[in-house]
Structure 1
Amino acid sequence: MSKYSITEFVRQTEQKDRGQGFFELETPRLLEVNLKLNDFVWAKTGSMISYLGKIKFEREGILEHGIGKTFKKALTGEGISLMKAKGRGKLYLADQGKKVTILHLQNEAIFVNGNDLLAFEPSIKWDIKLMKRVGGMLAGGIFNVRCEGTGMIAITTHYEPLTLKVIPGFPIITDPNATVAWSGNLQPTLQTDISLKTFIGRGSGESIQMKFEGDGFVVLQPFEEIRGKREHS
């Protein structure tokens, strides 16, 4: 049989059960969610590419997660539009071909850029958090999602993620547009480096940076994902 035959192509690319549980990486860029009877999952709106079985999709209700989050989303315009997938079957999720990473939180917390949060189990508590801004450098600051509890979440990155350890006394500076997530105990601040404006070429004329201090980690991607806009790898 030719290695380029249709039969061989189907064999190499067909869906495979890996027995990994509720969340499963079908490919590095595609998440499989295994829903049993009456299970449900929260997923980024528009991320469904296929499903098998009987699954119903519901748009996130106006007060689904409490009036506090509703007001925050209305105020910030944060791109955390969710849908609930409920039923029994296999659900396949993806986001612009970005790499998918599954994280199993065990009574832990992590901050994630809202645009990079693909899906999470209903046992995970979440809230929108605003980073303190410096003067008028940003019209509304930078908003992220704090996920906390025990359960699985799936995040996405453009290409391969890099995790840097934050050590007391040795702060790490990052570009907000390349910063995907960080440990829940860190409280980064925003700063500017005017000396970099010649090299950045951004409309603001300033280099806005995130400064992480303490003991934890930061997840980066080798790609600048301009917040509020949709970018493609």
Structure 2
Amino acid sequence: MRSELFSAENLEKESAQAGMRLQNSKMLKIELNGEAMARVGSMVAYQGNVQFQALGSGGLGKFLKQKLTGEGVPLMKVTGQGDVFLAELAKDVHIIDLEPGDALSINGSSVLAFDSTLQYDIRMVGGAGMASSSGLFNCVFSGHGRIAITTKGTPVVLNVDAPTYVDPQAAVCWSANLQTGYHRAEQLGLGTLLGRRTGESFTMSFAGQGFVVVQPSEEPPVLGSGQQQQEGGLLGGLLS
């Protein structure tokens, strides 16, 4: 049988070392020998002796906090030995290596999978979202290990060495040590009172030393307290 479908670029990527790596730009492969954490519903295929266990938002404490904040990542624990392939709506997949002392604040809707050696918590985003449809909370990861995130399209990584402003629904993740706030991007005036709006009322502000990852697409806004569209807002509640 012959087809370009069977070209080398589409064949399964093999490695002698366990762990997560990119199968391609849209798919993550975990060569599993133990356990890893993954987003519920993200498995598209697996081979070998693998078990999946739903964990809610990552433990009772985080589950209760999620119920109060509307944030969190619906997780499943993946255990065993084999190859597991993960994807999320054909979004681009990126792998970030965290080392001791690193901390990453990330939009919960962008988390695809992470090593079980990492710790994460749901924390308030300082000063952000007070006058927008975005949430007030984000997932903060720390420790030593890998995390796979998704973006809608190819992102830009902004080096925060000057005051930086980002649309809240386009911000994917940022250095957790950055100071965040919100900034009125649209000037109030007669045109605003007459209904002429730019669609950019508020932006998130970042200060300090670090980076911000921005995707070329905006997440749909939150519809109301505890409710949102299917994809969720910046910090959209991800557990039903």
Shorter-chain TM-score: which interval? Answer: 0.7 to 0.9
Between the aligned partners of 1:18 and 1:219, the Cα distance in structure 2 is 29
Structure 1 position 15, deviation (Å): 1.2
- Tell me, yes or no, if the aligned pair for 1:177 and 1:224 is still in contact at 8 Å: yes
- Tell me, yes or no, if the aligned pair for 2:186 and 2:198 is still in contact at 8 Å: no
The equivalent residue for 2:176 is 184
| 1:9 counterpart = 2:5 | yes
The 3 A distance-change label for structure 1 pair 15 and 136 is: closer
The equivalent residue for 2:69 is 76
Question: When the two structures are superposed, what TM-score results if normalisation uses the length of structure 1?
Answer: 0.84
* Structure 1 residues 139-193: Cα deviation after superposition (integer angstroms, max 9, x where no partner): 78432110001000001101111101111xx200000111001012112112333
Structure 1 residue identity aligned to 2:82: G
Structure 1 residue identity aligned to 2:214: L
- Tell me, yes or no, if the aligned pair for 1:110 and 1:148 is still in contact at 8 Å: yes
- Tell me, yes or no, if the aligned pair for 1:132 and 1:190 is still in contact at 8 Å: no
The 3 A distance-change label for structure 1 pair 111 and 49 is: same
Equivalent residue of 1:42, what SS? Answer: strand
Structure 1 position 34, deviation (Å): 0.7
In structure 1, stretches of 5+ residues that fail to align are none
Residues paired across the two proteins, number: 217
Aligned-residue sequence identity (percent) comes to 37
Between the aligned partners of 1:225 and 1:139, the Cα distance in structure 2 is 11
Between the aligned partners of 2:81 and 2:169, the Cα distance in structure 1 is 37
Equivalent residue of 1:70, what SS? Answer: helix
- Tell me, yes or no, if the aligned pair for 1:131 and 1:190 is still in contact at 8 Å: no
| 1:35 counterpart = 2:39 | no
Structure 1 position 98, deviation (Å): 0.7
Question: When the two structures are superposed, what TM-score results if normalisation uses the length of structure 2?
Answer: 0.82
Aligned pairs for 1:51-90 (under 5 A) are: 51-60=46-55, 64-67=58-61, 69-90=62-83
The 3 A distance-change label for structure 1 pair 25 and 150 is: same
The equivalent residue for 1:175 is 167
* Structure 1 residues 52-109: Cα deviation after superposition (integer angstroms, max 9, x where no partner): 01111111057x5342x12211012225111111111000000111111101111111
| 1:102 counterpart = 2:99 | no
Aligned pairs for 1:61-210 (under 5 A) are: 64-67=58-61, 69-107=62-100, 108-133=102-127, 137-138=131-132, 141-167=135-161, 170-195=162-187, 198-201=196-199, 207-210=201-204
The 3 A distance-change label for structure 1 pair 139 and 19 is: same
Equivalent residue of 1:96, what SS? Answer: coil
